[in-house]
């Protein structure tokens, strides 16, 4: 008690006037720097989008969506086969990657809570998430393409599917964790078996968030080029066969961007615009879905 009083009685250290000015000034300087850096970060985004719309929209026409690439030296042509090819490869990837990812997420959240194995899987998923996409390309090349002896749309789908798994797993797990335990217990209390509780109660409750995660994973792999270079390889013509090389939008953009022809540069811009519009539409849908669903309480 006595000590406390002593402390209270001690005269406060009075900061000198210049010190106060310096402190206030440095506060302003830092605030200014933070605002400046925010501008510097937003600026490239605005620049990229502006150029993309400016250069891309002026090159978009009906032929872009209906024709295959024109031979070198001829003008015109489009990327119809690449758009369809991308859709096929992404559909393939989603149909493989999303179920595995969700199942692994269910395991982490419903079966392995607090277990060492769960922690290890979680960690592996995070590590897999950071693996460079080009490495995934080489690995799938060695695993599938070398065995089949030719490039194929299927191998491209597998490469992208593997890249989707970690993202889907982690979001599924996180979303299932937000489902209150009382809801599960209600299921068990009614005598509903575990698998049924998970399918119809946990997963259903968490579904908006899980769908969000799947779409984010989709958006992430939709623009991937590197893993497709040695797997789907690209194709100048229509091809619907999964065991043959298939065109993909990012691949075609890359090929056209590094080519020496102005006409092809023009098409690359148009392709980039189409690609990014497709991705942004899905990201925006995610935002809308997330603002209505379970994510709202989480953020």
Partner 1 sequence: MTEPTNVRIPHITVSQPSVNIAAEALEVPTGPSPVRDFLNRRSSGRVVDGIFGSAMFLAAISIFAIVVLIIFTLIHGSQLSIHAFGWKFFVKEIWDPVNGDFGAWTFIYGTVVSSLLALAMAVPLAIGVAVFLTEMCPKPLRTPISFLTELLAAIPSVVYGLWALFILVPIMRDRVGPFLTKTLGWTGFFGGDNFGIGMLTASVILAIMILPIISSITRDVMLAVPQNQREGMLALGATRWEMIRTGVLRNARIGIVGAVILGLGRALGETMAVTMVIGNRPQIVKSLFAPGYTLASVVANEFTEATDDTYVSALVEIGLALFLVTIVVNAIARMLVWAVTRGTPSRAH
- Tell which positions 117-176 bind partner 1, by CB under 8 A: 117-118, 120-121, 123-139, 141-143, 162, 165-167, 169-171, 174
Neighbour count for residue 94 (Cβ, 10 Å): 22
Nearest-angstrom CA–CA distance, 12 and 162: 62
Asked whether position 215 contacts partner 1 by CB under 8 A, the answer is no
Asked whether position 59 contacts partner 1 by CB under 8 A, the answer is no
Nearest-angstrom CA–CA distance, 102 and 203: 9
Residue 226 contacts residue 133 (beta carbons within 8 Å): yes
Asked whether position 70 contacts partner 1 by CB under 8 A, the answer is no
Which residue in the set 65, 195, 238, 261 belongs to the binding site for partner 1 (CB under 8 A)? 195
Nearest-angstrom CA–CA distance, 234 and 135: 18
Q: How far is the CB of 269 from partner 1 (least distance, A)?
A: 7
Return the number of the residue (196 or 240) whose C-beta is nearest partner 1: 196
Return the number of the residue (222 or 247) whose C-beta is nearest partner 1: 222
Nearest-angstrom CA–CA distance, 95 and 161: 8
Angle between helices 249-257 and 262-292 (to 10 degrees): 140
Return the number of the residue (88 or 267) whose C-beta is nearest partner 1: 267
Q: How far is the CB of 66 from partner 1 (least distance, A)?
A: 23
Return the number of the residue (201 or 226) whose C-beta is nearest partner 1: 226
Asked whether position 104 contacts partner 1 by CB under 8 A, the answer is yes
Cβ-count burial 20-41 (b if 16+ within 10 Å, e if not): eeeeeeeeeeeeeeeeeeeeee
Which residue in 163, 109, 161 sits closest to 133, CA to CA? 163
Return the number of the residue (88 or 221) whose C-beta is nearest partner 1: 221
How far are the Cα atoms of 47, 187, 206, 225, 228 from residue 222, in angstroms, in the given order? 22, 38, 24, 9, 11
Asked whether position 280 contacts partner 1 by CB under 8 A, the answer is yes
Return the number of the residue (131 or 240) whose C-beta is nearest partner 1: 131
Asked whether position 116 contacts partner 1 by CB under 8 A, the answer is no
3-state secondary structure of 32: helix
Asked whether position 277 contacts partner 1 by CB under 8 A, the answer is no
Angle between helices 80-106 and 262-292 (to 10 degrees): 30
Binding flags for partner 1, 229-258, as an x/- string (CB under 8 A): xx--x----------------x--xx--xx
Please report, as residue ranges, which positions from 12 to 51 form the binding site for partner 1 (by CB under 8 A).
Answer: 23-24, 26-27, 30-31, 33-38, 40-42, 44-45, 47-48, 51
Return the number of the residue (26 or 66) whose C-beta is nearest partner 1: 26
Asked whether position 294 contacts partner 1 by CB under 8 A, the answer is no
Angle between helices 153-177 and 133-140 (to 10 degrees): 130
């Amino acid at each position: 008690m006595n000590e406390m009083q002593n402390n209270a009685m001690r005269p406060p250290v009075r900061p000198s006037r210049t010190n106060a000015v310096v402190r206030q000034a440095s506060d302003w300087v830092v605030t200014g720097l933070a605002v400046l850096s925010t501008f510097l970060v937003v600026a490239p985004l605005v620049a990229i989008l502006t150029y993309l719309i400016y250069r891309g929209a002026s090159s978009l026409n009906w032929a872009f969506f209906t024709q295959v690439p024109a031979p070198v030296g001829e003008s015109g042509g489009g990327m119809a086969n690449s758009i369809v090819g991308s859709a096929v490869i992404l559909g393939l990837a989603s149909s493989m990657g999303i179920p595995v990812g969700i199942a692994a997420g269910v395991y982490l959240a419903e079966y392995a809570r607090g277990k060492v194995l769960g922690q290890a899987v979680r960690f592996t998923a995070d590590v897999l998430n950071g693996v460079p996409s080009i490495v995934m390309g080489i690995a799938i090349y060695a695993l599938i393409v070398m065995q089949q002896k030719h490039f194929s749309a299927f191998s491209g789908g597998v490469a992208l599917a593997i890249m989707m798994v970690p993202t889907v797993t982690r979001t599924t797990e996180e979303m299932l964790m937000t489902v209150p335990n009382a809801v599960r217990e209600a299921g068990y209390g009614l005598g509903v078996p575990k698998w049924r509780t998970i399918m119809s109660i946990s997963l259903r409750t968490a579904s908006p968030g899980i769908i969000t995660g799947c779409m984010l994973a989709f958006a992430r792999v939709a623009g991937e080029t590197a893993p497709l270079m040695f797997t789907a390889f690209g194709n100048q013509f229509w091809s619907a066969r999964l065991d043959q090389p298939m065109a993909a939008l990012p691949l075609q953009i890359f090929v056209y961007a590094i080519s020496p022809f102005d006409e092809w540069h023009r098409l690359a811009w148009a392709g980039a615009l189409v690609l990014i519009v497709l991705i942004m539409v899905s990201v925006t849908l995610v935002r809308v879905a997330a603002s209505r669903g379970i994510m709202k309480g989480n953020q």
